[in-house]
Amino acid sequence: MADTERSIFSRIIAGEIPADVVFDSDRLIAFRDIAPKARLHLLVVPKTEEYRDVAELAAGDPGLLAELVATAKHLAEEHSDGDFRLIFNTGAGAGQTVFHVHAHVLSDNGGESLREGSLAEL
């Protein structure tokens, strides 16, 4: 894959672009969003470029999807109060701008901004 085709997440994983990394394993990386929509806004990203969105990931590697969700839960417990919103944008019409599957982990430590009915624009 040519450099121009690699996603920003692939470049972060390769160490070409700096990020505030909070978790790094063999299969996943998590870092703080550069434009946070909540007190805690992390991105959890599989290190593989194979899957463009969560539907592809679920079909192709459900074990990796389960690992991603478990990691999101762990990070919300470690960095916040344990309550969190997990968001996957799938497709440009749903707000996906980077076509390398990733989850947004948002938490506000019990504040009002993430209550039911208040969808953050991601």
**pLDDT surpassing 50 at residue 2:** no
31-69 pLDDT, tens digit per residue, is 999 999 999 999 999 999 999 999 999 999 999 999 999
Structure tokens at 15: 């160490």
3-107: CATH architecture:
2-Layer Sandwich (3.30)
Ramachandran angles phi, psi of 17, nearest 5°: -125, 130
- Residues paired with 106 in a beta bridge: 41, 85
Count Cβ atoms below 10 Å from residue 72 Cβ, excluding itself: 23
Chain centre to alpha carbon of residue 42: 6
What pTM value is reported for the model?
Answer: 0.89
Q: How confident is the model at residue 9 (pLDDT cuts 50, 70, 90)?
A: very high
CB atoms within 10 A of CB 10: 19
- Tens-digit pLDDT profile for residues 95-121: 999 999 999 999 987 666 666 665 545
Residue 58 phi, psi (nearest 5) = -60, -40
- Cα angle vertex 41, ends 103, 55, to 5°? 10
DSSP 49: S
79 among known catalytic residues: no
* Residue 28 confidence (pLDDT): 98
Catalytic residue among 41, 79, 100, 102: 102
